[in-house]
């Protein structure tokens, strides 16, 4: 079976196992027929072997969990399909210990049947066998269902606890009881904003309208019981956490948290979700004791994540923290408190910090800039994706948010209060190169307006001339290089009032669409950047349009920038 055009051969599972053996030959050994993975150097103190498995496409579950501190063997089926009982039987026979074999089975019909048949065959041969059935999926908790809940993310925690206990010499009955208690104390929920790619290469398994979320998906890409409007991530995580807490027991020992990616969610996002879960538990007066964040149980390349919560018993933290020597099974670490600001830092020594100042609040410039950036955000993102990494719209919006929450000196001129707050926000809070460079632009505009006898177009032009010089000193960009310098220089050279100045900036930004990029990331794509303007240049026009609207509302300068954004939206797609 071909998974997609990136797999090799007709059987992606067989070729993946061969690659797995090449990558981890020192710690595992791989049987090709029947297919299973076994630990090459299992812990000699174990009395009982632990065997698990299931369909492929969930990697690193289960094959990546084989080795010291993990499973003795793992049995992979085809993609999203149960392994055959012959495979399970052969793997268990190969690793069986004098104390027997413990089978860890996720609650799916094919897995239950095939592991069950293998267990019967082993017992008939005289091998002691127990089974732990993992059924943690809260989304499939249906009253009266004979099938029961699906087995999902809690499998990671169950296998980690059992492996550590087996390494400590636990007997079969002890392990079976322990595993069942961990399962009973665990529940999981999963959501997805995009389906996985169908194993046959036929595109996405299902389509979701924009702004929709599947709430309660399975690890085989099953659609959820409900499709919901996609909330913000904090709201979504809080909702999931609240539901999980309703179904796991209260415990003074704290909770184990697993944030698991379903295939296409980045580690950056998973850590952010973990932080929200930990804060949510803290806010409820509950202790997040240990935590894991990563892709441990994938659903191929589904764009989603699952949360698992386990109510701990005494001694389980130590088992979760026990060391491992497997390709992918981690050791959990204690949950640390949220990082605090450096207590040695002196706010009075920071020119951006003005604790004695007044909140900027709804400053006219920042209010106008926020509205302009909100309208332009999708366009700015698409422009930056065409020539960079796509984060410019987020950076600009983040700087505005930081400025709106800042303070400014009580004696600062009204025309410069918002500029001062934005200056410090972009210089100190916004990352990359665009943030600090915009900070310099705002700094020069603010200085010019504070020093000028009147806050008019001439004062803004003086600030722009200073900004062009400052940006050139720092980054070397010149007019014609297709950067933020182009609209700033065009506006600085303009004549007339504020509307004329903004019109020159708009024309200067639009002209960058015909320029070959010679600075920054855009220079790496060369002629492919032609046809659409530089996002940083459009951002300068947004800033100047907002400033002109604040200084002279009747001039309608912001409408000029709005027309440019609307035109770009029609062409940038």
> Which residues are the active-site residues?
220
Angle, CA 71 vertex, CA 66 and CA 72 arms, to 5°: 90
Residue burial 200-215, b: 16+ Cβ < 10 Å; e: rest: eeeeebeebeeeebbb
Is residue 499 within 8 Å of residue 549, measured between CB atoms? no
Side-chain-side CA neighbours of residue 27 (13 Å): 19
Query: What is the residue whose two structure tokens read 């000196």?
Result: 409
According to DSSP, the β-strands at 49-56 and 73-79 are parallel
Which tokens sit at 195?
Answer: 């389906």
Supply 346's token pair.
Answer: 């002196």
Residue 320 has φ and ψ, to the nearest 5°, of -70, -25
Question: Mapping DSSP to helix (H, G, I), strand (E, B) and coil, where does residue 118 land?
Answer: helix
Report in angstroms the alpha-carbon separations of 413 from 426, 466, 557: 20, 20, 22
**Bond preceding residue 60 cis, omega within 30 of 0:** yes
122's CB contacts (< 8 A; 6+ apart) are 89, 92, 93, 96, 101, 129
Per residue in 366-389, is it b (16+ CB within 10 Å) or e — as a string? bbbbbebbebbbebbbbbbebbbe
Torsion, Cα of 59, 60, 63, 68 (10° steps): -170
Say if residues 293 and 153 touch (Cβ distance below 8 Å).
no
What region, left, alpha or beta, does residue 349 occupy, with left being phi > 0 and alpha being psi -120 to 50 degrees? alpha
Cβ proximity of 232 and 272 under 8 Å: no
Alpha carbons 4 and 13: distance in angstroms, whole number = 12
As a whole number of angstroms, the distance between CA 11 and CA 437 comes to 52
Let me know: does 55 contact 220? Beta carbons within 8 Å: yes
DSSP letters along 9-72, please? Answer: SS-HHHHHHHHHHHHSTTTEEEEETTEEEEESS--TT-SSEEEEEEEESSTTTTGGGBSBTSBS
The count of other CB atoms within 10 Å of the CB of residue 453 is 7
Distance CA 439, CA 332 (A): 41
- On whether the CB atoms of residues 457 and 496 are closer than 8 A, the answer is yes
């Amino acid at each position: 079976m071909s998974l997609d055009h990136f797999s090799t051969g007709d059987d992606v599972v067989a070729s993946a196992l061969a690659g797995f053996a090449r990558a981890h030959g020192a710690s595992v050994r791989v049987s090709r027929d029947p297919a299973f993975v076994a630990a090459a150097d299992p812990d000699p103190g174990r009395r009982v072997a632990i065997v698990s498995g299931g369909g492929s496409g969930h990697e690193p579950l289960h094959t990546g969990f084989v080795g010291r501190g993990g499973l003795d063997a793992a049995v992979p089926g085809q993609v999203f399909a149960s392994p055959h009982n012959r495979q399970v039987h052969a793997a268990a026979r190969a690793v069986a210990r004098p104390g027997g074999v413990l089978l860890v089975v996720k609650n799916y019909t094919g897995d239950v049947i095939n592991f069950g048949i293998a267990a019967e065959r082993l017992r008939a041969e005289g091998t002691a066998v127990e089974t732990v059935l993992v059924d943690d999926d809260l989304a499939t908790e249906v009253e009266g269902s004979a099938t029961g809940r699906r087995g999902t993310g809690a499998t990671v925690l169950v296998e980690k606890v059992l492996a550590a206990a087996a390494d400590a010499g636990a007997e079969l009955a002890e392990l079976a009881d322990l595993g069942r208690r961990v399962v009973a104390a665990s529940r999981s929920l999963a959501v997805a904003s995009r389906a996985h790619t169908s194993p046959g290469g036929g595109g996405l398994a299902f389509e979701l309208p924009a702004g929709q979320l599947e709430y309660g998906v399975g690890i085989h890409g099953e659609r959820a019981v409900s499709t919901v409007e996609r909330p913000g991530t904090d709201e979504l995580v809080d909702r999931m956490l609240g539901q999980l807490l309703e179904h796991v027991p209260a415990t003074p020992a704290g909770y184990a948290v697993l944030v698991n990616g379903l295939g296409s969610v980045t580690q950056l996002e998973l850590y952010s979700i973990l932080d929200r879960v930990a804060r949510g538990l803290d806010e409820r007066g509950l202790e997040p004791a240990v935590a894991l964040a990563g892709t441990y149980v994938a659903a191929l390349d589904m764009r989603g994540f699952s949360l698992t919560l386990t109510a701990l018993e005494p001694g389980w933290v130590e088992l979760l923290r026990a060391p491992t020597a497997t390709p992918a099974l981690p050791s959990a670490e204690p949950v640390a408190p949220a990082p605090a600001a450096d207590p040695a830092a002196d706010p009075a020594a920071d020119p951006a910090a003005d604790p004695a100042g007044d909140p900027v609040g709804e400053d006219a410039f920042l209010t106008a800039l926020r509205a302009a950036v909100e309208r332009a955000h999708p366009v700015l993102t698409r422009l930056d994706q065409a020539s960079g990494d796509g984060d410019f719209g987020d950076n600009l919006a983040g700087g505005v948010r930081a400025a709106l929450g800042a303070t400014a000196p009580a004696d600062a001129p009204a025309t410069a209060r918002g500029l001062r707050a934005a200056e410090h926000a972009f210089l100190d809070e916004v990352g990359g190169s665009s943030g600090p460079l915009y900070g310099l632009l705002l700094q020069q505009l603010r200085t010019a307006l504070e020093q000028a006898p009147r806050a008019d177009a001439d004062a803004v032009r003086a600030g722009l001339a200073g900004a062009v010089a400052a940006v050139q000193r720092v980054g070397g960009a010149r007019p014609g290089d297709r950067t933020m310098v182009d609209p700033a220089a065009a506006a600085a050279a303009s004549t007339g009032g504020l509307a004329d100045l903004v019109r020159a900036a708009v024309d200067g930004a639009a002209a960058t669409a015909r320029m070959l990029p010679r600075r920054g990331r855009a220079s790496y794509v060369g002629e492919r950047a032609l046809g659409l303007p530089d996002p940083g240049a459009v951002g300068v026009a947004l800033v100047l349009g907002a400033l002109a609207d604040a200084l002279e509302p009747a001039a309608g300068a912001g409408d000029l920038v709005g027309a440019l954004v609307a035109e770009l939206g029609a062409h940038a797609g």
